[in-house]
Amino acid sequence: MKNICVFCGSSTGTKSIFNQSAESLGYELASNDCRLVYGGGKLGLMGTIAQTVLDNGGSVTGIIPDFMMSKEVAHEGLTELIITESMHARKAEMARLADGFAVLPGGLGTLDEMAEILTWNQLGIIQKPVVLLNVAGYFDHFLTALDMMKENGFLRQNNAMHVVEQPKEVLPTILNFSSSGNDFWDHLDRT
């Protein structure tokens, strides 16, 4: 797996650990000759991870909708910048190019991207790993919500998702992906 798509925030958030984690993951991707595929922005965690990969000799493909180009948020120094007609086309292109996905802290856009990929995995449209980087417990409440969905019969097992807490765990988890693993479900049974 050489193309890793990262979903993350277009801001840096309130804790320095978020930005540090984006830098660490960017360094890991570049050091392991993995291409970063991401949303194409220059701001926030998105900009941090992209610039870190580039600064360390790595390749970066950004995918951004045309309406965001006019807002001047695109990172101009990428290896490749793909401009799409819509947010939907952006997500489809990210999914097409990626061998695996990593999710860092972010807002609704990050959750939307992750949820769509998890749903596509569950439906069998794709079979690609998703690693949730739970930096400083950022996703704890989200994982609790997933617990509730599971307990109430609205969430089926999804072996594509794994939860880690350190940036250095992301790439090995993606590279060792097996659709028969159950790390995500072990995490949900954490009561």
Asked if 101 and 5 count as a contact pair (C-beta separation under 8 A), the reply is yes
What pLDDT was estimated at residue 55? 98
List the chain domain ranges. Answer: 3-188
Whole-number Å distance between alpha carbons of 179 and 137: 25
Confidence of residue 189 (pLDDT cuts 50, 70, 90): very low
DSSP state at residue 22: H
What is the pTM (predicted TM-score) of this model?
Answer: 0.90
pLDDT range class, residue 185, cuts 50, 70, 90: very low
Those residues with Cβ within 8 angstroms of residue 130's Cβ, 6 or more apart along the chain or in another chain: 100, 101, 102, 103, 114, 117, 118, 121, 160, 161, 162
3-state DSSP helix/strand/coil % of the chain, to nearest 5: 45, 20, 35
Q: In whole angstroms, what is the distance from residue 106 CA to residue 61 CA?
A: 19
Residue (of 63, 48, 54, 45) closest to 5 by Cα position: 63
Q: How far is the first Cα of the chain from the last one, in angstroms, to the nearest whole number?
A: 34
pLDDT band at 183 (very low <50, low <70, confident <90, very high): very low
| Tokens (6 digits) for 163 | 């939860």
The whole-angstrom separation of Cα 77 and Cα 162 is 32
Predicted confidence (pLDDT) at residue 39 exceeds the cutoff of 80: yes
Strands (E) located in 85-189: 100-103, 130-133, 161-164
CATH topology of domain 3-188: Rossmann fold (3.40.50)
User: What's the mean per-residue pLDDT of the chain?
Assistant: 89
Q: What is the pLDDT of residue 179?
A: 52
Encode pLDDT of 91-150 as tens digits: 999 999 999 999 999 999 999 999 999 999 888 899 999 999 999 999 999 999 988 988
Question: Tell me, what's the pLDDT at 158?
Answer: 63
- Whether 43 shows a pLDDT value over 50: the answer reads yes
Q: What is the phi/psi pair of residue 177, to 5°?
A: -60, 135
User: Residues 67-94: what's their mean pLDDT?
Assistant: 91
pLDDT, residue 178, reads 59
